[in-house]
Structure 1
Amino acid sequence: MLFPIGNDDELSSNVCITPCICGNAKSSIDQQNQDCAMEFLQGLHDHFSAIRSQILLMEPFPSIQRIHNLVRQEEKQQEINIGTIPTIDSAAFQAFKPPSQPLGKRQRPFCEHCNKHGHTLATCYQIHGFPNT
């Protein structure tokens, strides 16, 4: 699981109250169930902000079980998407970045053998000899 949202034990710890038989406490029970669902939504990682926003806009407000199922579906979708996108280690990427040069100036060739500017290893006189004159 890439972004842990909890297991079924955690879901069951958010036990919602079942309505009484007579129905007199329906509004308070509905409010307690909605509070339970809101607590679950607030505990989600920021990667789930889109689904959280969608759930909060649903009318009527869904049950905690429905919310949990929607978040699990989103989690599985994110796992699939992340598995298909290649990632680049930013430190490794920076290591291969060519040195920046001021605009308008051309970089002079540099010989790594004699540590001098003006020529490269391919044309270094110390390696290849001086031309015959």
Structure 2
Amino acid sequence: MIELHAAGLNKLGYLTGKDSREIDKRRPNKMICAADLKTRREEIQKDRTYDFLAGLDEGFDPVRGDLLRMKPIPGIEQCFNIVRREAQRQATMLGTRNIGEGSSIAMISKTTASSNFRILQATEEAEKDKLHCSHCNGRRHTKDTCFEIHGYPDWFLEK
């Protein structure tokens, strides 16, 4: 288990994807039709909501079930607020959860596939920091993968 600390808007921004998400930058959306873009964004938000709910501790099973039975399933902000209220209720009534000061809240969360991905991604990023290109003197790549030699991929924005 890991301890997930949420502190005000920064955590909410992470959950809603309002901060920069590395995976979104690596795989930009190539859809052109506005309706398709809107549908895809909604799917991504639902996936993030499901990831958040899947990572909650067993103590939140009743709340998770209630949220998943709602039609339509609420957005990540509403789910987060409902879970936070339940954590505060449990802390007040049962004294079982650690509620921080101010807008902070501490919840126990199971390690999910997405958190394992973030750990793997951080390891890969650290390895890339060690790379140096002998062709362009750039960092984080080698001559074998240099875009100046092999051409820029369609997804690369900083040409």
Change beyond 3 A, Cα 1:4–1:79: farther
Aligned-residue RMSD, C-alpha: 2.6
Greater than 4 Å deviation, 4+ residue runs: none
Question: Does the CA-based 8 Å contact 1:5-1:45 persist in structure 2?
Answer: no
Question: Does the CA-based 8 Å contact 1:34-1:63 persist in structure 2?
Answer: yes
Is it true that 1:7 corresponds to 2:7 in the alignment? yes
Unmatched tracts of structure 2, length 5 or more: 19-31, 96-159
Is it true that 1:43 corresponds to 2:55 in the alignment? yes
| Rg (Cα) greater in structure | 1
Match of 2:86 in 1: 74
With the length of structure 1 as denominator, give the TM-score of the two structures: 0.51
Question: Does the CA-based 8 Å contact 2:49-2:76 persist in structure 1?
Answer: yes
Deviation string for 1:2-32 (max 9, x for gaps)? x866233233212347xx9943322211111
- The one-letter code of the counterpart of 1:45 is D
For this pair of structures, how many residues does the alignment match?
A: 79
Question: Does the CA-based 8 Å contact 2:16-2:77 persist in structure 1?
Answer: no
Greater strand share, structure number: 2
Deviation string for 1:85-131 (max 9, x for gaps)? xxxxxxxxxxxxxxxxxxxxxxxxxxxxxxxxxxxxxxxxxxxxxxx
Identity %: 25
Aligned mates of 2:11, 2:79 — CA distance in 1: 13
